[in-house]
Amino acid sequence: VLSGCGVYDGTEIHEASAVLVHLSRGGAEVHMYAPDVPQMHVIDHSKGQPAEAESRNVLVESARIARGKIASLAKLTTADHDAVIFPGGFGAAKNLSTFAVDGKDCKVNREVERVLKDFHKAGKPIGLCCISPVLAAKVLSGAEVTVGHEEEEGGKWPYAGTAGAIKELGAKHCVKEAAFASVVFSLTPFYEAHVDTKNKVVTTPAFMCETALHHIFDGIGAMVKNVLKLTGK
């Protein structure tokens, strides 16, 4: 499920690409969706500032990432899918919800809320990364999620305050960080994914941390791998 195209007003493109690569490697058949609604606003990514005279549609912008193969989120059903994954980017907090403006008092797009509740009720896994775990925290009471660390630590975790908001939403925040895993004669760094086995919610910090791109790619891989494992297929 995408939220536009571009980190500051839509889907974080590197995260979406990482999700797609890992799903492809895992042999999954993928369908992409986005809500057919206006973006909260448009950001000029070269300046990091709002483009006051512009307006864009979330579905139309998401189609850039999907190479045109995308449908309205209203068409997404649990009957046709084994799992659902939400990449991050500010679009999750601006277009899929109002978290960027309202924090713990945010509202979630009604189709996003429907999808989360439907997959949860059906016992089908939900994957989220970066800021998107706030969606599960808001909609799924008592869910366990991670957005990384709970302190900024000198700028390494610039969005650490999100963990506090997640707790205020009634969810449990689980601290995750860079770790080392033994992989046949070498040590490969990766970002951990947290698996809430009860709710079948899998989350990973991704760009919530200031770190190398390949670490983020590997962390998203851990999330995707666990989502696919929870499908039982």
Place of tokens 């190398």: 212
Q: For the beta carbon of residue 79, count every other beta carbon within 10 angstroms.
A: 6
CA distance 134 to 154: 23
Residue 203's DSSP bridge partners are 128, 194
CA distance 233 to 216: 25
Phi and psi at residue 45, to the nearest 5°: -70, -20
Model's pTM, two decimal places? 0.94
Domain residue extents for the chain: 13-231
The active-site residue out of 5, 130, 174, 209 is: 130
How, if at all, do strands 144-145 and 49-50 pair?
A: unpaired
3-state secondary structure the chain: CCCCCCCCCCCCHHHHHHHHHHHHHCCCCCCEEECCCECCCCEECCCCEECCCCCCEHHHHHHHHCCCCEEEHHHCCHHHCCCEEECCCCHHHHCCECHHHHHHHCCECHHHHHHHHHHHHCCCCEEEECCCHHHHHHHCCCCEECCCCCCCCCCCCCCCHHHHHHHHCCCEECCCCEEEEECCCCEEEEECCEEECCCCEEEECHHHCCCCHHHHHHHHHHHHHHHHHHHCC
How, if at all, do strands 32-34 and 70-72 pair?
A: parallel
| Among candidate residues 202, 201, 205, the one with its CA nearest the CA of residue 190 | 205
Query: Which residues of the chain carry a pLDDT beneath 70?
Result: 177-191
Q: What pLDDT does 192 receive? A: 85
Q: What pLDDT does 182 receive? A: 41
Asked if 208 contacts 162 with a C-beta cutoff of 8 angstroms, the reply is yes
Q: What pLDDT does 177 receive? A: 67
**Half-sphere exposure in the Cβ direction for 27 (13 Å, CA):** 4
130 is an active site residue: yes
Q: What pLDDT does 180 receive? A: 42
Right CATH number for 13-231 from 3.40.50.880, 3.40.190.80, 3.40.1550.10, 3.40.50.1100? 3.40.50.880
Q: What pLDDT does 34 receive? A: 98
